[in-house]
Amino acid sequence: MKLYIIAGEASGDLHGSNLVKALKKQETSIELRAWGGDLMQKAGANVVKHIRDLAFMGFVEVLLNLPTILRNIKFCKRDIEEFQPDAIVLIDYPGFNLRMAKWAKKKGIKVLYYISPQIWAWNQKRGWGIKKNVDELFAILPFEKEFYKKFDFDVHFVGHPLLDAIKDYKNLKPDFNEFCAKNKLPQKPIIALLPGSRKQEVNKMLPIFLNVVDKFKDYQFVLAGAPALELDFYQPFLTKQNVSIIEGKTYDLLMQSKAALVSSGTATLETALLRVPEIVCYKASPISVAIARMLIKVKFISLVNLIMDKEIVKELIQSDLNNKGLSNELDSILHDENYRNQMLENYDQLIEKLGGDGASDLTAKLMLKTLKG
């Protein structure tokens, strides 16, 4: 059996790697060719296009990189035709993957979609196209199964794969002093900085995060270095005395942190599942935000608040993301015990709502069942 997997972002690489492990465990002779990152490669997929060359965010940024995107599409189609898979497995990354789904369907290639595009947020009419071009969809958010019923599309709710990924780390939490010694950090409480996994995102968010460092001298600020970015890229940001960086250990860092400043995205949910009080931060080009506000249909930008359908973590967006707003909210989650405990109680409800672990194994089992018919 041969599958061609396409993931285009760091979160897709994480979930794709766990899916690869589950597929290989259940079907040892399976051959997996993929677009992804180091995690998928390590798990056993043959990665032919790396995520570091794929991730573009925002409407304006996509337009500026359109020639590269079109070249990637051309390469992908040719590579799939040469590989001749039994099916393609698309992981999130909707701008690219929905286009590939439409093409593959016309070519008679079976299309399996893992982690639904967030069409419930904007342009919901795409649901009809997904029903037409996707053979099986494996959703990870509890409200998505009901959402797709309006398109007469019966999708699988498999639970959230982050619960699997995080469970392993929770069982291996090291002692705080040991963690600091191992990573050459002072013995001071930690505030984690997660400014994103793309250069343009980090360039925009990290300077804003660093502006509050001097107001919290009793804490150390530790930056979670993204796997796809080189250490040299971060060096210009590391000029303040109370700021350090740890590469490739985001979960380890979060488990030792008192609070976190997090750019919107999957990291907001990861932080919540590890029960770290957080502030969700987002700032993009004014044009991108203006377009988004015309199109987006949801009340929140973070997965945490979307799943709970209420604001359980503060979202600081655009002009609200300033020194005063960030400092005040960080002070609250660090020093207001009632406020902090309420956030942690809401996290427990979130975890319960997402269902149990085993999403990767269940998805692999359902995929193989579909393919074996």
pLDDT digits (tens, 9 = 90+) for 273-283: 999 999 999 88
- Name the residue among 253, 118, 247 with its Cα closest to residue 173: 253
- Which structural domains are found in the chain, ordered by start? 2-161+358-372 (3.40.50.2000), 166-353 (3.40.50.2000)
Contact 321, 126 (CB under 8 A): no
Q: What is the mean pLDDT of residues 86-99?
A: 94
pLDDT digits (tens, 9 = 90+) for 125-172: 999 999 999 999 999 998 899 999 999 999 999 999 989 888 877 777
Tokens 């994103």, residue located: 196
Contact 199, 233 (CB under 8 A): yes
**CA-derived radius of gyration, the chain:** 21
Does the pLDDT value for residue 245 go beyond 90?
Answer: yes
pLDDT digits (tens, 9 = 90+) for 199-232: 888 999 999 999 999 999 999 999 999 877 888 9
pLDDT band at 340 (very low <50, low <70, confident <90, very high): very high
Please report which residue ranges of the chain form alpha helices under DSSP H: 10-26, 38-43, 59-64, 66-83, 94-106, 126-133, 144-148, 162-170, 176-182, 199-210, 231-234, 250-255, 266-273, 286-295, 303-308, 323-335, 337-353, 359-372
Between the CA of residue 46 and those of 17, 129, 132, 227, what are the distances in Å?
11, 29, 29, 18
Predicted local confidence at residue 53, as pLDDT: 76
The continuous run of DSSP H or E covering 278 comes out as: strand 278-282
Lookup: tokens for 66: 């359109």
pLDDT band at 19 (very low <50, low <70, confident <90, very high): very high
Does the pLDDT value for residue 291 go beyond 80?
Answer: no
User: Taking the C-alpha atoms of 76, 81, 82 and 87 in order, what is their torsion angle to the nearest 10 degrees?
Assistant: 90
pLDDT band at 319 (very low <50, low <70, confident <90, very high): confident
- Name the residue among 215, 253, 252, 196 with its Cα closest to residue 334: 215
**Left (φ > 0), alpha (ψ -120 to 50) or beta: where does 179 sit?**
alpha
Predicted local confidence at residue 164, as pLDDT: 84
Distance (Å, whole) CA 305 – CA 313: 7
Lookup: tokens for 199: 């250069």
pLDDT digits (tens, 9 = 90+) for 34-49: 999 999 999 999 999 9
- Annotate 172-200 with three-state secondary structure: CCCCHHHHHHHCCCCCCCEEEEECCCCHH
Predicted local confidence at residue 297, as pLDDT: 62
Question: The whole model's pTM is what?
Answer: 0.77
Average pLDDT, the chain: 90
Predicted local confidence at residue 197, as pLDDT: 83
SS3 for 113?
Answer: strand
- The answer to which of 20-29, 61-70, 248-257, 305-314 has the lowest mean pLDDT is 61-70
pLDDT digits (tens, 9 = 90+) for 166-211: 887 777 777 899 999 999 999 999 999 999 888 888 999 999 999 9
